[in-house]
Structure 1
Amino acid sequence: MATIRKRGSSWQAQVRRQGSPPISKSFTIKADAVLWAREKERSIDRQELPATIKDLQSVTVGHLLVRYEAEITAKKRGADRERYKLKVIRAHQLSSLTLAKLTSVAVARYRDDRLAIVQGGTVRRELAILQHCFEVARKEWGTPLSSNPVQGVTLPEPSRACDRRLEDDTGQKLRAAIGSAHAWYLRPLIELAIETGMRRGELLSLVWPNVSLERRTAHLPMTKNGHARTVALTPKAMEVLKALPRTDPRVFPKVSGNAVRLAWERLRERAGVQGLRFHDLRHEAVSRFFEAGLSVPEVALMSGHRDTRMLMRYTHLRPEAVAEKLARATAGEANSG
């Protein structure tokens, strides 16, 4: 039974049910207190209220992450990449915390521990996954979290735009190291990444029916931003594609993103070019497109960028290349005069 008592100038209603935490609320009118108490009792009886505090003590962050991976991550286009991030998060002690002990302080500790290992941009992406996981748990899974603990944490500053270019000696080291690699796909994959600006996942999902050597194009029906695009193929890209065997509908059959990641890390170590990411090849491609004289719309067509500001983050022109272009332009003006 609910307890209704007079407290000063107001009426307090308190509801107690075995297996549920006591709840109370104050009202100016006694009739409102009685009505509220009856509604809450019905809700508890119908199990409409959130789970009890006992559930918070038995469910861990890791439990939520496992369910999130199965129900949410699995439906995403970048599922492989997100699964890797989830694996990293679950390896941290934050994952073993029960929801009853989960606080913004614990999330901040995770942030600081990760910042000692990786850059701010990586930590921001991991925290975004955590925040979405807790939000889905609160709104869709009935998890009795009163608030999202990630929202109380200051996010690290975004990573500075990478300005690393693939210098000649770096390219030579990579090519030399590939000679002893067991992964047959590394050389053509790297060459196509540089020549087309495609992402790793786009290259691995490329199928021969979408490659037209006659038109010199490769069509990508599904990309990271959800928009299809058709990439123009350079003569070098054409040469690489022609040399690949067509034993499967996929250009790179039976090659997973994780396999490429591991092969790239081994290659990077053999070549002695630590810190170079496979994604840096996309930056290199975009910069080369501009140096070749392509306009902003033409480069955006190749890279798939729909935001010019983001495209500029990918672009790192060599000052000497700009100087050569200015010299040619100046010489042309002098000759015409």
Structure 2
Amino acid sequence: MATLRKRNGRWQVQVRRQGFPIQSRSFLSKADANEWARTIERQHDRHELGPDRKALKSMTLADLVIRYRDEVVPKKRGSEVETILLNRFLRYPICRKTLNGLTTADFAAYRDLRLKEPKHRSDKPITPKSLKRELSPLSHMFRHAVIEWEIPLRNPLEGLKLKVTDNKRERRLLAGELNRLLEATKKGRNKLVAPIIVFALETAMRRGEILSIQFRHVDFGRLSLVIPESKSGYSRVIPLTHPAVTILEALSSKNTKPSDLAFPITPIALRLQWDRLTARAEIHGLNFHDLRHEAISRLFELGLTVPEVASISGHKTLAQLMRYSHASQEAVRAKLYAAQSPDRLIGERYSQTSMV
């Protein structure tokens, strides 16, 4: 804000703004002083003036991360996972640097270090795609600091190069894997894992959507389920198959409240249970999210149209939906042969005999 005072026949004006150096000047007229103050304030708003390096020198990257973790992250969906990522990031030396001296080169060194480190519970290093997901909250943190907290920063991640290949997954359940998974759940302590697996295959829902289901979202009469908010930020209503309804009915009781969770288990606990389960069943390379791939592919194999599948899966574009659809080659081959006319089959037999 600007402060004006008259001294020795001249108007002295001083403009203060958090994160910027103090600006002061003297004028003969009050009008000129006010006009200059408004110009400086507009330059502050547009971030045209350099930041106050003294203020940035007193704040470290760790200070910024902790404030963001404690004030912003709890209000976000997926806050539990994001908190874990930020807590792990705080252990690295880069967090001890002050905001005044933080550069893209510092994050480039952090990037190179992370890409060499082994991934958690694996001998393989982290992939660039996984690292990009880990850096996403930090990028949002810098934008939030500039806009909401008026900290005059430049996002050092904007110029960071991270080559990410599109390694979309095409993993589907192999023959017998579902039975092995369900059989392995009998040896586990948590009895919710088996119904969650079947429910995921019956509904094509994401893990977070499944674990957020409350009984008030279920309409047993109409065999439907309301998903209040999905990953895309939109709500949708999906039909429930009889196996899905049977699972929800088995989990409900007379004492069940509408606000009770149908599957009271945390995402972290389910992930740990899944890792133990696949190891026990000796199934390799299968993620829980692959169940969504499997479910969407099965919907197409049942003959549902693209709009019908999209209404269930929640995808907004065809490109997004096709990333999750991987038709079984056996099913495609069976349809091709079933669709062939007798004349075409005769032609094929003739071409085969003529080539002998």
Higher helix share: 1
TM-score normalised to the size of structure 2?
0.74
User: Aligned match of 1:128 in 112, 131, 136?
Assistant: 136
SS of match in other structure, 2:234: coil
RMSD of aligned alpha carbons: 3.3
Aligned-pair CA distance for 1:73: 2.0
Aligned to 1:260: 270
Whether 1:293 aligns to 2:303 is: yes
SS of match in other structure, 1:231: strand
Aligned to 1:315: 325
Structure 1's consecutive aligned runs of 4 or more residues displaced over 6 angstroms after TM superposition are: 20-24, 332-335
Size of the aligned set, in residue pairs, is 302
Aligned residue identity for 1:156: K
Aligned-pair CA distance for 1:67: 1.4
Aligned-pair CA distance for 1:173: 2.9
Question: What are the equivalent positions in structure 2 for 1:1-337 lying under 5 Å apart?
Answer: 52-116=52-116, 117-145=125-153, 147-246=154-253, 247-249=256-258, 250-252=260-262, 254-330=264-340
Aligned to 2:27: none
Structure 2 unmatched ranges of 5 or more = 1-13, 24-31, 42-48, 117-124, 346-356
Aligned-pair CA distance for 1:21: 9.7
CA displacement, residues 252-277 of structure 1 (integer Å, 9 cap, x when unaligned): 35422222222222223323334422
Aligned-pair CA distance for 1:54: 4.0
Structure 1 unmatched ranges of 5 or more = 1-14, 25-33, 44-48
CA displacement, residues 111-160 of structure 1 (integer Å, 9 cap, x when unaligned): 23333432332222222221121122233323343x21101111331441
TM-score normalised to the size of structure 1?
0.78
Aligned residue identity for 1:329: A
Deviates more, 1:52-61 or 1:284-293: 52-61
Alignment partners' CA distance in 2, 1:23 and 1:159: 49
Alignment partners' CA distance in 1, 2:94 and 2:130: 17
Alignment partners' CA distance in 2, 1:67 and 1:21: 20
SS of match in other structure, 1:218: strand
SS of match in other structure, 1:266: helix
From the superposition, tell whether residues 75 and 112 of structure 1 become closer, same or farther in structure 2 (CA, over 3 Å). Answer: same
SS of match in other structure, 2:190: coil
Deviates more, 1:171-180 or 1:107-116: 107-116
From the superposition, tell whether residues 265 and 88 of structure 1 become closer, same or farther in structure 2 (CA, over 3 Å). Answer: farther
Aligned to 1:27: none
Alignment partners' CA distance in 2, 1:77 and 1:314: 23
- Counting aligned pairs with the same residue, the percent is 39
Aligned residue identity for 2:324: Y
SS of match in other structure, 1:80: helix
Alignment partners' CA distance in 2, 1:299 and 1:55: 54
Aligned residue identity for 1:57: K
Deviates more, 1:157-166 or 1:94-103: 94-103
Aligned to 1:28: none
The answer (yes or no) to whether the contact 1:124–1:156 under 8 Å persists in 2 is no
From the superposition, tell whether residues 21 and 125 of structure 1 become closer, same or farther in structure 2 (CA, over 3 Å). Answer: closer
Aligned-pair CA distance for 1:334: 8.2
